[in-house]
């Protein structure tokens, strides 16, 4: 099996990512894990890191 030229890189440290299975008491899910720093990225994490659609309100005094 040939390696894909486009490799997934870690958003935190730019290390290599591997696709792994994770499991807790109730759920089973798959996500990318960085072999260098341990960063885990799954669809929920990716969605939460997207910029908000609207503008954020600033706190008073900013």
pLDDT at position 49 is 84
pLDDT, tens digit (0-9, with 9 covering 90-100), for 4-61: 557 889 999 999 999 999 998 898 999 999 999 999 998 888 888 888 776 666 677 6
CA–CA dist 59, 40 (Å, integer): 31
User: Token match 């600033």: residue?
Assistant: 58
pLDDT at position 38 is 93
pLDDT at position 14 is 93
User: Token match 């870690």: residue?
Assistant: 10
Is the Cα torsion angle 45, 50, 54, 60 positive or negative in sign? positive
CB 28 within 8 A of CB 21: yes
Residue ranges of domains in the chain: 17-49
Task: Confirm whether pTM is higher than 0.85.
Answer: no
């Amino acid at each position: 099996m040939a390696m894909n030229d486009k490799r997934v890189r870690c958003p935190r440290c730019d290390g290599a990512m591997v696709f792994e299975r994770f499991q807790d008491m109730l759920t089973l899910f798959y996500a990318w894990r960085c072999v260098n720093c341990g960063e885990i990225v799954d669809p929920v994490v990716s969605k939460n890191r997207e910029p908000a659609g609207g503008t954020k309100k600033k706190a008073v005094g900013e």
